[in-house]
Chain A
Amino acid sequence: MFRITLTGLLAHRLRLVLTSLAIVLGVGFIAGTFVLTDTIDAGFTQSFAADADKVDVVVTPDDDAEPDGNLPESALAAIRAVQGVEDAQPMVSGDAPLIGKDGKVVGNVPTAGVSIPASRIKITSGRAPSAAGEAVLDKNTAKTQGLAPGATVTVLDQAGKRQQFRLVGVFDVGLDQDLAYRGAVAFTPDTARRVTGAKGFTEIDVVSSGPSPESLRTAVAAAAGKAKVVTGRERADEVAKRNHVDTSFLRLGLLLFGAVALLVAALVIYNTFNILVAQRMREMALLRCIGATKRQVFGSIVLESAVVGLLSSVLGLLTGLGLGAAAVAVLRAVGTDIPTGTVSLSPQAIAIGVCTGVVVTMGAALLPARQATRVPPVAALRAQVEEHAFRTGVVRVVVAALFVLTGVGLTAAGVLQKPGQAALLTVMAGGVLVFFSVLILGPVIVRPLSGLAGWVPARLFGVPGRLAVDNSRRNPKRAATTTVALTVGVTLMTFMTVLTSTMRTTVGDQLDQQFPADYILSAQTGTIPRSVADTLRASRDLAAVTEFRGKKAKVNGRDFEVGTVTQSALGTAIKPEAASGTMDGFGAGEVAVADLVAKDLGVKVGDTVTVASGGRRTSLKVVAVLKADVSLLPPFTMAEQTFERHFGRVDDAQVLVNAADGVAPERARKIVDDATAAYPVVKVGSTTEIRGQFDEALDSILMVITGLLALAIVISLLGIANTLSLSVHERTRESALLRALGLTRTQLRGMLSVEALVLGLVGAIVGVVLGIVYGWAATATFTENVSFQLPIGQILLFIAASGLAGVLAALLPARRAARASVVGALAAT
């Protein structure tokens, strides 16, 4: 039986190539994920280990210390005094806002001002700072600001005063994500403390003069007092482990896409084996005639799938190695600061790749194999294998109905639920069930759908068109499985597109609501002097200037942000939405509370709350509870005078500026820029910029996801090509008859292309509908105020692309069909 299986495999090798390709791609993606993440992991571990070798003992603040609790300065001297300590270098960390080329502070958050021990700092050009007037800058900031050693850099010290330093070098922040994000200026330890005002140290690195790190650790721990003391090696392991969690997330995310690809591959394999079994009906029957048992027939198919699965999984591993290496090469090429080790396949990747590949292939072949056992021996003697007309079974309908009802029910429940993660998960669970019902009902719905999708082609392409549409629904089961494979990819793509475009509009609307302003002034650190708002108000080109101020205070005994807003702006520039009560006529002694906080504290309109800070107490009457998610106002908003009476004169936290009608944006911008020029920490943002940044982020997310989903689509196209080439094979005689009756080669090719087009369109239509519905349902679970947006252009593009992809998939099978000689095909039985 084994030999028969093998010869069978060889005989059908061409047909199995496409099937294998589906598995190769799926397994390749999964193996590639492991290769990539393993390589990154190895890279991190290597570079941590390299760092660790330079330091014997690391002292850091205790884990349960306050977030900004540092090691006391006395610790350094104490550690230096320990016997066996060759050197102990402190690490200082604070804020040192860098002034950029435009005279404003760089970035959204203050640049870090640090001191890094000479043994740890990675200088890429120049040298480390050694005198009070010297500084080095991190590589990325130096590049974006166009600064090179020899230049002068200006930073703001703790008092907000400008301090100038000579740049003596550029350094690499390495794996410190915080520094990489903020950018960093490094000084000598004393300068760093003077500039940033940081008290104490964030870390002390100890180098041993002889004793082993372990014994030195004990000695240092005794001297350092309340601190966490570990050896360099332990520290490296710990950081590496923390980092491993990061790569685990990446791995999990990528594996999810791999799973989708494998699901699609499973559908393709299932279909192929089904068709192979149908085609080999006579062969099976002959085997049964000459004495093969049902078991043996079943076994031979399963064995065949095992061989295919194993071979393609091995190929998949190689593909994965290539994919992973390519991804690593890309990471290196674009210059990301992700360290990478040597690219290799770990035993884990090999085991998981091969197992999933083989299991998926064999699993998908089980049902077709069972089908093969039902072939009666007498079938070998029948002249022609008749086509089995598909009949909708009661079981199918009942099971599908159950899935549909539960799925739709869950979805509806999720949508009606209060927005949140639970609601989203409910909707997604409903989505999975509905998808399964589509899978089960596929053969039933594919007929009317192909009629729908084929309506235009049938009329456009004459006889070949009509024949193609008929053919596309000739074997509904096969057509359904073929198209469902495509549906998976299209559904997810549509889902993502609907999600992102809805997010885009929703956030855009919220931006309009929340920032009813052209410009937003905010301070990177501290506050904005009130003189800025006063200057702006004096300009006739600006229509509205709204100031926000805030302070921390205890309200009814709990810490909250209490604030106020320019009184005249209420109801004009700022229109808070009240859940209950109203802010109309808002005045002294009154307070508006955000709904979430109001619920938290159990206060409602008419209640009185007490604000306490700095020994003062003010009682306020709640007049409005505001919808927090559409409000710019702080949890507690007081009237301006009341706020000032309680807190005194407080500078602005934020200023919103509206240009007057008819004023050119450039002009308004210049006025705002001029007014803030003297204050480097005050940054000017415009809503267009914010929206642009958001759009950009959304676009890149969408692009990455689309790229990852493309794999599933490619696999499903292999499925279409497979189904078509098998159909072409089955219909050799029919094609020959049509050619004899006067169908030209071009028309025959066209007929198959139209059939593929219809299959592609059906898959796309189902996918688009599911994607839109679930995109909508998912966005409904995000927030209550969703502006649902249907990206019609993109969705039409998906449908068109699916149709086109189907046609592409048909190219080779159609070519083969058209090239067959009429006489030869007629003679074939």
Chain B
Amino acid sequence: MTTTTQVRTAVVARGLTKVYGEGDAAVHALRGVDVGFAAEAFTAIMGPSGSGKSTLMHCLAGLDTVTDGQVTIGDVEITGLNDKQLTLLRRERVGFVFQAFNLLPTLTAEQNIMLPLEIAGRQADQALFDRVIETVGLRDRLGHKPSELSGGQQQRVAVARALISKPQVIFADEPTGNLDSRSGAEVLAFLRRSVRELGQTIVMVTHDPGAASYADRVVFLRDGLLVSEVERPTPQTVLDTLMALEA
């Protein structure tokens, strides 16, 4: 099995190490992770609780600092950047979908979607906007505040927001964690469609084998190390790998 293919990689981590605390209290969340994420592909990161999957995502996205190792997004090595540079990088090249509290309660759905572009002072691509809205099926909900939307709709708004700025990579942290299975399936299908149709790169952290099966590839983490991966996963192959890991 090969870790990288001939396709372009959007995000690469080399020897990624993250240690919280010092001395006896030190927790090694990541112990030297080498991983690449293909561009225009949907990759899932899986692992049991405490495996370091969220930490990996935070480090890859430049939200958290690394103890050692390198992270490259596109052609930029982000591990040497200061907070301001990281912020600008996030603005330009990274999109996020979180498990909850994704939206600003004071803004309408449309305003929430446009927020990253406005923060960056960029104009929206009207064609892209229309396409995104069409794909997410939110046309008639654009003027609503988050409190007037269902959980599934809120997550779709969050995905639309991540897509609208055409980032080099979207990081999704348990995007369906708070949703019922139907809404979850909708959001996941939508994520996959945005990879296929819009050529988006998506890295998703999840602990749900069903959700992971929507991805093109699943990488498995245990105790801060990359231990396995599955190409073109099905719920069953993911579940089997997980079982094998926990055995």
Chain A residues in the interface with B (C-beta under 8 A): 384, 386-387, 462-463, 467, 470-471, 474, 733-734, 737-745, 747, 821-823, 826
The main secondary structure of chain A at its interface with chain B is: helix
Known A-B contacts A734-B101, A822-B63; the reply to A742 vs B120 at CB < 8 A is yes
Contacts of B147 in A (CB 8 A): 386-387
Other A-B pairs beyond A734-B104, A737-B98, A744-B88, 4, CB < 8 Å: A740-B90, A741-B91, A745-B84, A823-B64
Interface flags, B105-121, vs A, CB<8A=1, else 0: 11100000001101111
Flag whether B87 is at the interface (Cβ < 8 A). yes
Flag whether B83 is at the interface (Cβ < 8 A). yes
Q: Considering the chains assembled together, what is the distance between the CA atoms of A744 and B84 in angstroms?
A: 6
Contacts of A744 in B (CB 8 A): 83-84, 87-88
Q: Considering the chains assembled together, what is the distance between the CA atoms of A733 and B100 in angstroms?
A: 10
Flag whether B135 is at the interface (Cβ < 8 A). no
Flag whether B220 is at the interface (Cβ < 8 A). no
Inter-subunit contact A742/B87 (CB<8 Å): yes
Flag whether B58 is at the interface (Cβ < 8 A). yes
Known A-B contacts A467-B104, A737-B102, A745-B84; the reply to A462 vs B121 at CB < 8 A is yes
Known A-B contacts A467-B106, A733-B101, A734-B101; the reply to A741 vs B115 at CB < 8 A is yes
Contacts of A821 in B (CB 8 A): 64
Q: Considering the chains assembled together, what is the distance between the CA atoms of A527 and B242 in angstroms?
A: 115
Find the B residue at minimum CB distance from A744: B87
Inter-subunit contact A745/B106 (CB<8 Å): no
Known A-B contacts A740-B96, A744-B84, A823-B64; the reply to A463 vs B107 at CB < 8 A is no
Contacts of A463 in B (CB 8 A): 115, 118-119
Contacts of B107 in A (CB 8 A): 467, 470
Q: Considering the chains assembled together, what is the distance between the CA atoms of A744 and B58 in angstroms?
A: 17
Find the A residue at minimum CB distance from B145: A389
Contacts of B84 in A (CB 8 A): 744-745
Q: Considering the chains assembled together, what is the distance between the CA atoms of A462 and B121 in angstroms?
A: 8
Contacts of B88 in A (CB 8 A): 742, 744
Contacts of A734 in B (CB 8 A): 101, 104-105
Find the B residue at minimum CB distance from A741: B116
Q: Considering the chains assembled together, what is the distance between the CA atoms of A744 and B100 in angstroms?
A: 22
Interface flags, B184-218, vs A, CB<8A=1, else 0: 00000000000000000000000000000000000
Q: Could you say which of A384, A743, A823 contacts B58, with CB atoms under 8 Å apart?
A: A823
Interface size of B by CB at 8 A reads 28
Q: Could you say which of B92, B98, B116, B119 contacts A826, with CB atoms under 8 Å apart?
A: B98
List B58-97 residues whose CB lies under 8 Å from chain A. 58, 61, 63-64, 83-84, 87-88, 90-92, 96
Contacts of B87 in A (CB 8 A): 739, 742-745
Distance in angstroms from B125 CB to nearest chain A CB is 17
Q: Considering the chains assembled together, what is the distance between the CA atoms of A474 and B91 in angstroms?
A: 26
Contacts of A467 in B (CB 8 A): 104, 106-107
Inter-subunit contact B101/A741 (CB<8 Å): no
Chain B residues in the interface with A (C-beta under 8 A): 58, 61, 63-64, 83-84, 87-88, 90-92, 96, 98, 100-102, 104-107, 115-116, 118-121, 147, 161
Inter-subunit contact A823/B63 (CB<8 Å): yes
- Among A386, A467, A733, A738, chain B packs the most CB atoms within 10 A around the CB of A467
Q: Considering the chains assembled together, what is the distance between the CA atoms of A384 and B120 in angstroms?
A: 30
Find the B residue at minimum CB distance from A732: B101
Contacts of B106 in A (CB 8 A): 467, 470-471, 474
18 contacts between A and B (CB under 8 A): A384-B100, A387-B105, A387-B147, A462-B118, A470-B106, A471-B106, A734-B101, A737-B96, A737-B104, A739-B87, A740-B63, A741-B116, A742-B87, A742-B90, A744-B83, A745-B87, A821-B64, A823-B58
Find the B residue at minimum CB distance from A824: B64
- Among A740, A744, A826, chain B packs the most CB atoms within 10 A around the CB of A740
Q: Considering the chains assembled together, what is the distance between the CA atoms of A194 and B235 in angstroms?
A: 123
Contacts of A742 in B (CB 8 A): 87-88, 90-92, 116, 119-120
Distance in angstroms from B161 CB to nearest chain A CB is 8
Contacts of B105 in A (CB 8 A): 387, 474, 734
Q: Please give me the 9 A-B residue pairs with the lowest Cβ-Cβ distance, nearest first.
A: A742-B91, A470-B106, A733-B101, A463-B118, A744-B87, A823-B64, A742-B90, A822-B63, A741-B116
Find the A residue at minimum CB distance from B102: A737
Contacts of B119 in A (CB 8 A): 463, 738, 741-743, 747
Distance in angstroms from A739 CB to nearest chain B CB is 7
Distance in angstroms from B64 CB to nearest chain A CB is 5
Contacts of B161 in A (CB 8 A): 741
Q: Could you say which of A738, A740, A745 contacts B104, with CB atoms under 8 Å apart?
A: A738
Distance in angstroms from B112 CB to nearest chain A CB is 10
Distance in angstroms from A662 CB to nearest chain B CB is 65
Distance in angstroms from B130 CB to nearest chain A CB is 22
Q: Considering the chains assembled together, what is the distance between the CA atoms of A443 and B42 in angstroms?
A: 48
Inter-subunit contact B64/A737 (CB<8 Å): no
Contacts of A743 in B (CB 8 A): 87, 119
Contacts of A739 in B (CB 8 A): 87
Q: Considering the chains assembled together, what is the distance between the CA atoms of A65 and B121 in angstroms?
A: 88
Find the A residue at minimum CB distance from B106: A470
Q: Could you say which of A470, A737, A822, A823 contacts B101, with CB atoms under 8 Å apart?
A: A737
Q: Considering the chains assembled together, what is the distance between the CA atoms of A822 and B98 in angstroms?
A: 13
Contacts of A747 in B (CB 8 A): 119
Contacts of A740 in B (CB 8 A): 61, 63, 90, 96, 98
Contacts of A386 in B (CB 8 A): 147
Contacts of B116 in A (CB 8 A): 741-742
Contacts of A462 in B (CB 8 A): 118, 121
Contacts of A826 in B (CB 8 A): 63, 98
Q: Considering the chains assembled together, what is the distance between the CA atoms of A653 and B89 in angstroms?
A: 87
Q: Considering the chains assembled together, what is the distance between the CA atoms of A630 and B107 in angstroms?
A: 62
Inter-subunit contact A745/B118 (CB<8 Å): no
Q: Considering the chains assembled together, what is the distance between the CA atoms of A826 and B57 in angstroms?
A: 13
Q: Considering the chains assembled together, what is the distance between the CA atoms of A137 and B166 in angstroms?
A: 91
Find the B residue at minimum CB distance from A733: B101
- Among A462, A474, A823, chain B packs the most CB atoms within 10 A around the CB of A823
Distance in angstroms from A15 CB to nearest chain B CB is 22
Q: Considering the chains assembled together, what is the distance between the CA atoms of A741 and B92 in angstroms?
A: 9
Distance in angstroms from B221 CB to nearest chain A CB is 17
Inter-subunit contact B63/A745 (CB<8 Å): no
Distance in angstroms from B54 CB to nearest chain A CB is 8
Contacts of A387 in B (CB 8 A): 105, 147
Distance in angstroms from B58 CB to nearest chain A CB is 5
Contacts of B96 in A (CB 8 A): 737, 740-741
Distance in angstroms from B84 CB to nearest chain A CB is 6
Q: Considering the chains assembled together, what is the distance between the CA atoms of A471 and B104 in angstroms?
A: 10
Distance in angstroms from A763 CB to nearest chain B CB is 21
Contacts of B100 in A (CB 8 A): 384
Q: Considering the chains assembled together, what is the distance between the CA atoms of A822 and B107 in angstroms?
A: 21
Q: Considering the chains assembled together, what is the distance between the CA atoms of A826 and B63 in angstroms?
A: 10
Distance in angstroms from A190 CB to nearest chain B CB is 89
Contacts of B63 in A (CB 8 A): 740, 822-823, 826
Q: Could you say which of A471, A733, A737, A745 contacts B83, with CB atoms under 8 Å apart?
A: A745
Q: Considering the chains assembled together, what is the distance between the CA atoms of A733 and B99 in angstroms?
A: 12
Find the B residue at minimum CB distance from A739: B87
Q: Considering the chains assembled together, what is the distance between the CA atoms of A470 and B116 in angstroms?
A: 17
Known A-B contacts A386-B147, A463-B115, A733-B101; the reply to A741 vs B121 at CB < 8 A is no
- Among B83, B101, B121, chain A packs the most CB atoms within 10 A around the CB of B101
Distance in angstroms from A816 CB to nearest chain B CB is 16
- Among A387, A743, A745, A747, chain B packs the most CB atoms within 10 A around the CB of A743
Q: Considering the chains assembled together, what is the distance between the CA atoms of A617 and B64 in angstroms?
A: 106
Contacts of A384 in B (CB 8 A): 100
Find the B residue at minimum CB distance from A822: B63
Inter-subunit contact B90/A741 (CB<8 Å): yes
Contacts of A738 in B (CB 8 A): 104, 119
Find the B residue at minimum CB distance from A470: B106
Contacts of B58 in A (CB 8 A): 823
Find the B residue at minimum CB distance from A742: B91
Q: Considering the chains assembled together, what is the distance between the CA atoms of A739 and B87 in angstroms?
A: 7
Q: Considering the chains assembled together, what is the distance between the CA atoms of A739 and B83 in angstroms?
A: 10
